[in-house]
Amino acid sequence: MRKFLALGLSVALPWLCVPSRAQTTTPDLRGVYIYTNDVSQATPATVNQLTASFKIPGVDGVAVVIAWSAIEPARGQYDWTLLDQWVGQAISAGKKIDLVVMAGSSIPSWLFQPAPSGAGAQALSFTVSPHSGATGVCDPAVLPRPWDPIFLAQWDAMLAALAAHLKSAGTYNSITLLRLTGINRTTEELRLPAETPQSTGLACVSDSIAIWQQAGYRPSLLLQAWNSLLGSFGKSFPDKPFSVSIIPGDPFPAIGEDGSVLTGAAAAADRNLSLISSASQKLPGRLVVQFDFLMPGEAASAAVIGYAQTLGAMAAFQTNEYLKGQGAACSEPVTNPTPCTASTYLTLLETGIYPAGKSSPLRAQYIEVFHDNAAAFPASVAQAHLELVPPAISLVANAEGEAPVIAPNTWVEVKGVSLAQPGAGRIWQGADFVNGQMPKALDGVSVSVNGKPAYIYYISPSQVNILTPPDAMAGPVAVQVNNNGTVTAAFTAQAQAAAPSFFVFGGGPYIAAIHSTGAYLGPASLYPGATTPAKPGEIVTVYANGFGPTSTPVVSGSLLQSGVLSPTPVIKIGGTPATVQFAGLVAPGQFQFNIVVPPNAPDGDLPITATSPGFSTQPGTLITVQH
């Protein structure tokens, strides 16, 4: 997208405001994500609260959670309406998307119905209780055997259809990562019913161990099913990262390979390990392991830390949801939790951000939060964002052509991450000018170049556009961005006396130029009805950047800049020198050249260059000429 730099002139100069290059193939997962819970169960009030939370500064992404039954209500018949709405909302808000399709109790009923309308999978009926029975609540769960080939085939077909739909809808590339689901109970977590009336103290809980023994459960069959699911995800989404939510304790029935009940050390062994090890091997560099629990004063999951340190997995966390529809609490027990304050909520988030402590290099990729907490504690969310995605500069370059060389009084782009608050994106406005001085900060974002403040034209999280101070500088200079008190490490940029470039329309290659009438100059197809080519012998005005000092010293920060260039730059059109009638500074960082198009210039798109001693404009720029 392009913005236009308008300084009260007869022409608005196109100005690069957000990165125009393709995004890296390895997406940046970092940030704070709103976890929606199953959107197919959301009330209208919850929908409004969720979508409002997407706009809270510091929120980087959305975990869009939807039941399998909501997108495939009948076998082979898909309804993408709801999914598209939520993905569209997240895209419109500029958020990363973690797509979570839940299985478990969200499996469509047709899976268990006989053919031809159903798939005919065997159903296993359980009654389970959250938090190992501590809540006293019992919930039904009807599941297939994970290794059932009918279930695996239908899950594979659904994922293939999902990927195909996202591509046809043009939203596939907006999906940042997906949750590895399929082996679930009542949430998206990797787990199966494993409790009994004895282990929970609840008579309403089914004897999961006996049910699984009768179904032929074996750890090897579970691993076989898991590997099949990994293959399906990898086939349909070969270029995406994946996350998996684990239950560190008792995630699967304590049944051995011989079908007997495990006891002692065997029962206490890590039953996630074989599955996570397999995923880390099949998805190297693309696996996130997360635990859906954080609490102030309680250490982050040792299992997540261990998998990150030994298997190379990335780490992530979700807060607790002890308050159910009102999000996280900040104390135990689950039956009588204490609501959070802004301070305790930030402590909760930081427990996940620094799972092994602040002295360890291990950091969470993201923290999933609930909309109620984000709305209640926006400052904590904003701070967590900055800790997860600290401001950093990746490029400092001339704003046109992106040459990595800067100069005094030159328009420059600074690219990176967290350079402004999430969702920020604006150019300077009239109210930002005080006493005729250009702003040194916009919404708490400022930039220093060689230790002196620059002038801020545009801010966004990924790019800031500045006019460098007019003071002389040469060689390596330090550039830093201050985002509301959090300052980037110094980025070393190369500076010289001049760094010339032409302004271009819409990203190029056509230079920003006007006829003597003030009408835009360019091929008729560039802006239909607004642009027309130059004629041989016509006097046209061309705009440029970074040509260095003029006859009149620039007053730092002033909107009034003028002076002529000496010597006059040599401008060539199609290799033929053009007569330069004027070459000088007319506005902050904005040079104007009044030139005569060579009378013998041929028709067509012709290369145009401007050179001054030792410097030249960027290659590839064009001007259109037509008799």
pLDDT above 70 covers a percentage of the chain that reads: 96
Average pLDDT for residues 491-508, to the nearest whole number?
94
Q: Which of 30, 18, 103 is nearest to 67 (CA)?
A: 103
Average pLDDT for residues 260-276, to the nearest whole number?
95
CA torsion through residues 565, 571, 577, 581, sign: negative
Write a three-state SS string for 510-546.
Answer: EECEECCCCCEECCCCCCCCCEECECCCCEEEEEEEC
For the record, the structure tokens of 460 come out as: 């966004």
> Given the DSSP bridges, would you call strands 463-467 and 475-483 parallel, antiparallel or unpaired?
unpaired
Tell me what percent of the chain is helix, strand and coil, each rounded to the nearest 5. Answer: 25, 30, 45
For the record, the structure tokens of 188 come out as: 């998206």
Average pLDDT for residues 382-386, to the nearest whole number?
93
Q: What is the pLDDT of residue 325?
A: 81
In this predicted structure, the answer to whether residue 5 has a pLDDT above a threshold of 60 is no
Average pLDDT for residues 524-539, to the nearest whole number?
96
Strand partners, 59: 32
Count other Cβ atoms within 10 Å, centred on residue 41: 13
Identify whether the C-beta of residue 144 lies closer than 8 Å to the C-beta of residue 121. yes
Q: What is the pLDDT of residue 11?
A: 31
Q: What is the pLDDT of residue 3?
A: 36
In this predicted structure, the answer to whether residue 588 has a pLDDT above a threshold of 70 is yes
Average pLDDT for residues 329-344, to the nearest whole number?
96
Q: How far apart, in whole angstroms, are the C-alpha atoms of residue 387 and residue 353?
A: 7
In this predicted structure, the answer to whether residue 85 has a pLDDT above a threshold of 50 is yes
In this predicted structure, the answer to whether residue 422 has a pLDDT above a threshold of 80 is no
CA torsion through residues 130, 132, 137, 143, sign: positive
In this predicted structure, the answer to whether residue 531 has a pLDDT above a threshold of 70 is yes
Q: What is the pLDDT of residue 256?
A: 97
Identify whether the C-beta of residue 393 lies closer than 8 Å to the C-beta of residue 491. yes
Count other Cβ atoms within 10 Å, centred on residue 433: 13
Residue 16 host element (H or E): strand 13-16
Average pLDDT for residues 155-184, to the nearest whole number?
98
Residue range 224-264, pLDDT digits in tens: 999 999 999 999 999 999 999 999 988 999 999 999 999 99
Average pLDDT for residues 122-133, to the nearest whole number?
93
Q: What residue ranges define each of the domains in the chain, with the CATH number in brackets? A: 60-239 (no CATH), 391-495 (2.60.40.10), 501-625 (2.60.40.10)
Average pLDDT for residues 470-489, to the nearest whole number?
95
**C-alpha torsion 245→224→165→45, nearest 10:** -30
Average pLDDT for residues 47-60, to the nearest whole number?
95
Phi and psi (nearest 5°) for 382? -60, -40
Residue range 538-547, pLDDT digits in tens: 999 999 999 9
Average pLDDT for residues 393-415, to the nearest whole number?
94
Q: What is the pLDDT of residue 60?
A: 93
Q: What is the pLDDT of residue 6?
A: 38
Average pLDDT for residues 485-513, to the nearest whole number?
95
Q: What is the pLDDT of residue 80?
A: 98
Q: What's the one-letter identity of residue 132? A: S
> Given the DSSP bridges, would you call strands 539-545 and 590-596 parallel, antiparallel or unpaired?
antiparallel
Q: What is the pLDDT of residue 12?
A: 34
Phi and psi (nearest 5°) for 494? -90, 130
Q: How far apart, in whole angstroms, are the C-alpha atoms of residue 474 and residue 498?
A: 10
Higher pLDDT: 25 or 603? It is: 603
Residue range 431-440, pLDDT digits in tens: 999 998 999 9
pLDDT above 90 covers a percentage of the chain that reads: 90
Q: Which of 572, 575, 576, 624 is nearest to 603 (CA)?
A: 624
Identify whether the C-beta of residue 406 lies closer than 8 Å to the C-beta of residue 413. no
Q: What is the pLDDT of residue 26?
A: 65
Tokens 């236009």 -> residue: 4
Identify whether the C-beta of residue 580 lies closer than 8 Å to the C-beta of residue 542. no
For the record, the structure tokens of 156 come out as: 């594979």
Identify whether the C-beta of residue 495 lies closer than 8 Å to the C-beta of residue 450. yes
Q: Which of 437, 435, 623, 411 is nearest to 532 (CA)?
A: 623
For the record, the structure tokens of 594 come out as: 């009044």
Burial 517-534 (b: 16+ CB within 10 A, else e): eeebbbbeebeeeebbbb
> Given the DSSP bridges, would you call strands 392-398 and 426-427 parallel, antiparallel or unpaired?
unpaired
By three-state DSSP, how is residue 275 classified? helix
Write a three-state SS string for 71-106.
Answer: HCCECCECCCHHHHHHHHHHHHCCCEEEEEEECHHH
In this predicted structure, the answer to whether residue 23 has a pLDDT above a threshold of 50 is no
Q: What is the pLDDT of residue 226?
A: 98
Average pLDDT for residues 570-596, to the nearest whole number?
97
> Given the DSSP bridges, would you call strands 13-16 and 576-577 parallel, antiparallel or unpaired?
unpaired
Q: How far apart, in whole angstroms, are the C-alpha atoms of residue 467 and residue 616?
A: 20
Average pLDDT for residues 206-214, to the nearest whole number?
97
Q: Is 428 exposed, middle or buried (0-12, 13-18, 19+ CB in 10 A)?
A: middle
Q: Which of 149, 64, 49, 51 is nearest to 99 (CA)?
A: 64
Q: For the chain, count helices (H), then strands (E).
A: 13, 35
Q: How far apart, in whole angstroms, are the C-alpha atoms of residue 470 and residue 453?
A: 10
Model confidence band, residue 324 (pLDDT cutoffs 50, 70, 90): confident
Mean confidence (pLDDT) of the chain? 93
In this predicted structure, the answer to whether residue 16 has a pLDDT above a threshold of 60 is no
